Amino acid sequence: MKKIVELRKENNKLGETLNKENDLIFTDIVCYLRASEVSEYDQEEIINDMLNMFLDWQQQGKSIKSMIGYDYKDFVDNVISAVNPKKSYLNKIKEYTQIFLEGFCIMLTIDFAFLYLPKLLKGNLNLTYDLTVDMLIRSIIIVTTASAIVHYICKNSFELSNQKKFSKTHNFIFALSVVSIIIILILTCILLNKKVIISINIFYAIGLITIYLGYKAIKKIGVL
């Protein structure tokens, strides 16, 4: 993990030296690469190689367009095919599990901050945290939806960049999806609000939130 973080930091610094035109193209390439089956470490290696190549061209006064053509998607697909190593099923399971756990911890933090913390500050010393069915379902829906949106944007980064504005169909589908999700979340809260899965001491919940926030902080500075 530390090697990945260090490589990502190096890539971020290199990326800052790209001019505006090249940076826009490079951003789309990175987004598309993120949605590929290539492992996280290999992604950073590819990004690093591309950055060095793009910066060499930039110093020579050559644009990315003139060197790789206008079909950026085809260019990246060829690079991905050359690298070839795909994520194993074990790594995929690990990745999806990590996404869900992080999403759950975020929802737990929000749930605690807005529902339980105000009660504690008002003197309600009920030290029991109830994990309800609606909170779990809410977490699953939000995490799944957010992941799907991010994957869609990354997978279609080149097409979306070429569109100056979304079509009416895209806008309608997006609006309908948002409204549907909101309705589902509201109905879930109403129908399943009092169904408790498990009750734990509030300090265990606080401990879990603290561990999660600490993990994110440590991961950000590259210790892990």
Residues 109 and 204 in one domain: yes
Residues 77 and 95 in one domain: no
What CATH number has the domain bearing residue 23? 1.10.1900
Write the DSSP assignment of 15-76 as a string of letters.
HTTS-HHHHHHHHHHHHHHHTSSB-HHHHHHHHHHHHHHHHHHHHTT--HHHHH-S-HHHHH
Residue 124 shares a structural domain with residue 184: yes
Same domain, residue pair 94 and 155: yes
* Same-domain pairing of 25 and 107: no
How many domains, in total, are found in the chain?
Answer: 2
Instruction: Return d(Cα 56, Cα 22) in angstroms, integer.
Output: 12
pLDDT by residue (tens digit) across 160-206? 777 655 566 666 676 777 777 777 777 776 776 677 888 888 888 88
Same domain flag for 137 and 116: yes
Confidence at residue 65, expressed as pLDDT on a 0 to 100 scale: 81
Parent domain of 17: 4-83
Average pLDDT along the chain, 224 residues, taken 10 residues at a time? 79 90 89 86 90 92 83 88 72 80 85 79 76 81 82 82 63 73 74 77 86 81 58
Measured between alpha carbons, how far is 140 from 211 in angstroms, rounded to an integer?
Answer: 21
pLDDT of residue 223: 52
Structure tokens at 5: 């973080």
Residues 62 and 155 in one domain: no
Q: Same structural domain for residues 77 and 96?
A: no
**Domain end residue (candidates: 83, 114, 143):** 83
pLDDT at 52: 92
Helices (H) and strands (E) in the chain, counts: 11, 2
Which tokens in the block code for residue 197? Answer: 């899965």
User: Are 179 and 99 within one domain?
Assistant: yes
Cβ-based neighbours of 219, under 8 Å, separated by 6 or more: 1, 5
pLDDT confidence of residue 114: 80
The answer on 108 and 168 residing in a single domain is yes
| End position of a domain, from candidates 83, 101, 126 | 83
Q: Return the pLDDT at 224.
A: 53
pTM to 2 decimal places: 0.69
Q: Final residue of a domain: which of 83, 104, 138?
A: 83
Same domain, 135 and 171: yes
